[in-house]
Amino acid sequence: MTKASANLQERKRRESETRKKHIISVVKALVKKGGAREITIRKVAEEAGFSTTIVYALFHDKATLITQAMDETLLELVKVMKKAAALTEDPIEKIKHTGKAYIKYGLSNPDEYALVFMERRPHAPVEAAEVEHGNVQQDPYAFAHSLFIHLKEQGLVDGDEMRLHMMTQIFWQGIHGLTSINLVMDEGDEWTPKLNHQMHVDALLDVLMAGLLQTFPVVQPGKHIKPTRSIKK
C-alpha cells in the first residue's frame, strides 16, 4: 500500500467516525424528545443531514443504531461503579458502594438511564455494541457479577454460576427499582410519601445484602440448611 493510499484510508476512517458520532448525538437528542420508539432511520438521517443510505451503511439497522447510542452511557456507568467499589476492600461494602454509585448516576442522567434501562426498543446482537459483552472493564452487569464472585471467594456466600447470577440480578433489580421509580415519580408526585433519599438508599442496600447473605449462605460441614424451593441447586 502506498503512502497516499494509506492516508486516504485513514481520512475515510476519520470521516466515518465523525459521521457516526454526529448520528449518535442526533439519536440521543431524538430519544429525549420522544423516546426510542420514535426513532426511525429516515428521521435520524433527516436530522443528521445525511442520506438514509449513509446511515444504513454505518449502522445497518435501527437496533444497531440504538445499541451504539447506549455505549457511551454503559461505559460511563461502569466507570463510576468501579470507582465506587475501589473505595473499600470489604467485599460487602464494595457492593453497597457500587449500588449507591449506580443509583446516583441514574438519577443524575435520567435521559441516558431511561434509554438503556427503561425504554422498549429493538435488540441487536451483542456483537453490534462497541461495549464488549462480559468484559468487566466495559459491561456494567459483568462488573457487578464479578463482585458477587469475589463475595463467594471470600467465603461469604455460596452457589454455582446460576446462583451467583441470581444474586447479581436480585441486587441489580433492587437498585434499578429505586432508581426508576424516583425518575418516574418525581417531586411533583403526591401518591407516595417522600423519604429521606440517603436513608432510603442505605436501607435498601442493607436489606438487599442481608437478604442475599441469608438466602445464599455458606453451609458449614455437617450443617444442613434447607433452601427455598426457588433456589435449589
pLDDT tens digits for 27-76?
Answer: 888 887 877 777 889 999 999 999 999 999 998 888 888 888 889 899 99
Q: Which pLDDT score is estimated for 225?
A: 47
Q: Please state the φ and ψ torsions of residue 86, each to the nearest 5 degrees.
A: -75, -5
pLDDT, mean over the chain: 88
Nearest to 119 by CA among 166, 72, 63: 63
Give the pLDDT band of residue 7 (cuts 50, 70, 90).
low
Least confident of 63-67, 183-187, 193-197: 183-187
Q: Would you state the pLDDT for residue 176?
A: 98
Give per-residue pLDDT as tens, 160-178.
999 999 999 999 999 999 9
Q: Report how far residue 124's alpha carbon sits from residue 122's, in angstroms, rounded to the nearest whole number.
A: 7
Residue holding cell 441514574?
Answer: 106
- At residue 214, the pLDDT reads 96
How far apart CA 54 and CA 65 sit, in angstroms, is 12
pLDDT at 230 over 60: no
- Region 185-206 average pLDDT: 87
Instruction: Please give the residue that has the higher pLDDT: either 71 or 102.
Output: 102
Residue among 157, 142, 159, 137 at smallest CA distance from 233: 159
Closest by Cα among 161, 181, 163, 64 to 117: 181
Q: How far is CA 141 from CA 60, 69, 129, 168, 193, in A?
A: 26, 18, 15, 8, 31
Residues 6+ apart with CB under 8 A from 123: 63, 67
Of the pLDDT bands very low, low, confident and very high (cuts 50, 70, 90), residue 83 is very high
Model confidence at 9, pLDDT cuts 50, 70, 90, reads confident
Residues in the chain: 233
Instruction: Please say if the pLDDT value at position 102 is more than 90.
Output: yes
DSSP letters for the chain? --HHHHHHHHHHHHHHHHHHHHHHHHHHHHHHHH-GGG--HHHHHHHHTS-HHHHHHHHSSHHHHHHHHHHHHHHHHHHHHHHHHTT-S-HHHHHHHHHHHHHHHHHHSHHHHHHHHT-------GGGSSSPTT-TTT-HHHHHHHHHHHHHHTTS----HHHHHHHHHHHHHHHHHHHHHHHHS-TT--SSPPPPHHHHHHHHHHHHHHHHHHHSPPPPTT---PPPGGG--
What is the rounded average pLDDT of the residues 97-107?
98
Q: Are 144 and 171 in contact (CB under 8 A)?
A: yes
10-24, 44-58, 143-157, 164-178: segment of lowest average pLDDT: 10-24
Q: Residue 44 and residue 27: Cα distance in Å, rounded?
A: 6
